[in-house]
């Protein structure tokens, strides 16, 4: 399945992913290892619409985006508290957060749709194996 992404969403996700990965080696709070792996795999793909063929791929994308969303939310809060709600940095970080939020929402909906289809086709709850096995081509 294709996940359509706007230029603004891609720009925001790329910036947030870079900050998360930079924080890993700088002595800050590191993201969980699986999230780091997910973000490292996602970063080079943030150049256009994404083809996510399995529920496992969607879940990897969703994990990465939801972590970036949390980090963007914290960053926005910090700018608002440290500067002013209408400061340039606070406003810019809000828009970054909002663009990542739209990606996270679409990832959640895609996850739910794929999960429902797999359960319908297999007659069983989704497992890690079925999440990787069932293909949803573009």
- Would residue 94 count as lying in a domain? yes
- Would residue 97 count as lying in a domain? yes
Query: Cα–Cα distance between 120 and 138 in angstroms, integer?
Result: 20
Task: List, for residues 36-80, the tens digit of each pLDDT value.
Answer: 999 999 999 999 999 999 999 999 999 999 999 999 999 999 999
CB 111 within 8 A of CB 59: yes
Selection from 31, 45, 46 nearest residue 99 by Cα: 46
- Would residue 138 count as lying in a domain? no
Query: Cα–Cα distance between 11 and 81 in angstroms, integer?
Result: 25
The whole domain housing 51 covers 2-133
- Would residue 127 count as lying in a domain? yes
Model confidence at 24, in pLDDT bands (50, 70, 90)?
low
Task: List, for residues 90-102, the tens digit of each pLDDT value.
Answer: 999 999 999 999 9
- Would residue 54 count as lying in a domain? yes
- Would residue 17 count as lying in a domain? yes
Cα distance from N-terminal residue to C-terminal residue, the chain: 5
């Amino acid at each position: 399945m294709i996940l359509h992404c706007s230029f603004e969403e891609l720009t925001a996700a790329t910036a947030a992913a870079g900050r998360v990965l930079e924080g890993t080696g700088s002595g800050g709070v590191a993201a969980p290892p699986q999230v780091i792996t997910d973000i490292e795999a996602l970063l080079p793909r943030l150049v256009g619409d994404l083809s996510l063929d399995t529920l496992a791929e969607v879940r990897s994308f969703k994990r990465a985006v939801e972590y970036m969303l949390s980090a963007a939310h914290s960053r926005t809060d910090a700018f608002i508290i440290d500067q002013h709600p209408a400061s340039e940095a606070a406003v810019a970080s809000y828009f970054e957060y909002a663009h990542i939020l739209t990606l996270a929402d679409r990832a959640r909906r895609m996850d739910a749709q794929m999960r429902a289809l797999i359960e319908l086709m297999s007659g069983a709850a989704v497992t890690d194996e079925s999440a990787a096995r069932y293909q949803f081509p573009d």
